[in-house]
Structure 1
Amino acid sequence: MKEIPILYTGAMVRALLADDKTQTRRTCKLQPHVGSGMTWWPDGKGTDTGTSGGAPGCYLDLCPFGQPGDRHWVRETWQHSNWPHGPFDEDCDIFYRADYMDDPHGPDGELSPEGKYRTWRPSIHMPRAASRIMLEVMNVRVERLQDISEADAFAEGVSALNSRHAGAAYVTDVRLAYELLWKSLYGAGSWDANPWVWVVKFRRVTEQVQ
């Protein structure tokens, strides 16, 4: 079993904690080549172009997000109680920005008498000991981004009834809500590019991790 670090935004961390998110999609860095009616994968194997998600099993073995039974430890925006007077250690208190999303002053806090706002550390700098969420990989597959189903959009943690993007009106189509989420993360044109993506299904591990 491998343990693999993985980054999540605050909104997705909240979805993970609520067990509303059980899938994640990540772009395949090595995109297959399509030609002559075949989809040619980085391992040299080909599949019929018309077969959605038809990656050879040996290509699935190359997934950087692990295989069934492997685990992800989640990296999120954070801070520790020793800051700014000392380094992080495993005995200090840990604060997570995702827990402050409902703060009336916003997740970055109210201006203090000293004239400082709450300061957070980027998720990429979170050490393993500070992580509070562990996910077990259940299944891995590949498919085109736009092939996502309505059920899978829900499994991505997107609630159509609670999806507001960039001040726009509430979105009632869950696939559209996921499309807008993807664009907010990866930029304009990222959805239209319709890349092949790793689809990782997981469950949150709630028992004590040794």
Structure 2
Amino acid sequence: MAKEHPILFTGAMVRAILDGRKTQTRRDGFTPDYVALLENGYCRYAYAGDQLWAGETWAQPAALDPGPTVYRADYPTWVPLGYQNIPPVEAIRWKPSIHIPRAACRLVLGGPTSVWGG
């Protein structure tokens, strides 16, 4: 049964994914023979077919309340249309990527609906 796992990214890595410049990632903790393990459908972090979703620095600014989730990697360049009085970056209380709920995630890695195409 496929599971979902968060994987944390910095703002620079998120921008690279969105721009199409980043198509792979590595994480510490994989054994040197992880490629062979992946061929068997297993690695230390996830099984083949599991969904990985990107955790990134995020916020839901009160000034935009009831507002959208915004992401530090591309704020204020990307804010949904129709919102005015956009607060400056320094005025927003950003939440660390480790605390992003799955519902607020915008990037899914691997699989048919992935930004990486599976």
| TM-score between both structures, scaled by the size of structure 2 | 0.67
Structure 1 spans left out of the alignment, 5+ residues: 32-51, 86-90, 103-107, 111-116, 138-202
Does the 8 Å CA contact 2:34/2:43 hold for their aligned counterparts? no
Change (3 A) 1:92 1:62: same
Between structures 1 and 2, the one with greater strand share:
1
In structure 2, the partner of 1:120 is 94
Alignment partners' CA distance in 2, 1:20 and 1:101? 21
In structure 2, the partner of 1:18 is 19
1:73-92 Cα deviation digits (max 9, x unpaired): 11100101448x9xxxxx74
Alignment partners' CA distance in 2, 1:60 and 1:125? 29
In structure 2, the partner of 1:80 is 60
Q: Secondary structure at the match of 1:57?
A: helix
Give the drift of 1:19: 1.9
- The percentage of counterpart residues that share the same residue type is 41
Alignment partners' CA distance in 1, 2:97 and 2:33? 31
**Larger Rg: 1 or 2?**
1
Does the 8 Å CA contact 1:71/1:134 hold for their aligned counterparts? yes
Residue 204 in structure 1 maps to residue 115 in structure 2: yes
1:135 to 85, 93, 109: 109
Q: How many residues align?
A: 103
1:94 to 46, 66, 69: 69
Alignment partners' CA distance in 1, 2:73 and 2:56? 8
Change (3 A) 1:56 1:11: closer
Moved over 3 A (4+): 52-60
| TM-score between both structures, scaled by the size of structure 1 | 0.40
Q: Secondary structure at the match of 1:72?
A: strand
In structure 2, the partner of 1:61 is 42
Change (3 A) 1:82 1:28: same
Does the 8 Å CA contact 1:133/1:205 hold for their aligned counterparts? no
Alignment partners' CA distance in 1, 2:36 and 2:94? 42
Give the drift of 1:109: 2.6
Give the drift of 1:97: 0.3
